[in-house]
Amino acid sequence: MPSRPDVDAGIADATLALLRRRGPKAVTVEAVAASSGIAKTTIYRRHRDRRDMLAAALTRVTTPDPLEPDADAPDRLRWIISEAVKAIDVGIGFGGLAAMLTDEDPEFNKLFRRILAEQRADLESVIDAAEADGSFRADVDSTTFIDAVVGAVIAERARTGRLSRGWEARLFDLFWPVVRP
């Protein structure tokens, strides 16, 4: 069936809203249909099952926005921070994160880890390119660096319940001396 962006967006938005609030077990075709107002038959025409629906919605929010080709080193770091925030805050939210930490839904964990590995590869390639052209220090461990950024996102949300205004800028200020050559 041809894709209609408004229907696909409605399915993805409802899927992510359920995931963020109540975790992956709450994401069923029936719940998404009820939440979005989109018929179950329409959802099933687009997605085989809940796993496929979750994968499509999560891929949509974890696929990095394009980085400007002429981005300078500070903009690259801001982009990395923004994309890491997006995966947690706009992506799985605390419902999905709690489910991952408790292994509530092993199928979801496997799916989300696969999707995160794809996003991580994109982020690491930006770090590797910045190291190669001298924009970042050559000894930055990209895996650990991304883990530190994601960990900071999780810690801030756990501590305050949200990311406060200016938080990403403060995180940039903290990490810029770490990566600056």
Reading the chain (181 residues) residue by residue, the pLDDT tens digits are: 545 779 999 999 999 999 888 889 999 999 999 999 999 999 999 999 999 999 999 888 888 889 998 999 999 999 999 998 888 887 777 788 888 888 888 988 898 888 888 888 999 999 999 999 999 999 999 999 999 999 999 899 888 888 889 999 999 999 999 999 9
Fold of 5-59: Arc Repressor Mutant, subunit A (1.10.10)
What residues contact residue 152 under an 8 Å CB cut-off, 6+ apart? Answer: 171, 174
Q: Which of 90, 150, 108 is nearest to 23 (CA)?
A: 108
Furthest CA-CA distance within the chain: 55
- Is 50 in contact with 44 (CB distance < 8 Å)? no
User: How far is CA 75 from its chain centroid?
Assistant: 19
CATH 1.10.10.60 in the chain, residues? Answer: 5-59
Instruction: State the amino acid at position 172 in one-letter form.
Output: F
Q: Cα separation of 127 and 123, whole Å? A: 7
Q: Which of 145, 127, 112 is nearest to 23 (CA)?
A: 112
Four-point Cα dihedral 54, 92, 90, 119, nearest 10: -80
- pTM: predicted TM-score of the whole model, two decimal places: 0.81
User: Quick one: tokens of 180?
Assistant: 């600056």
- Binning the chain into helix, strand and coil, the percentages to the nearest 5 are 75, 0, 25
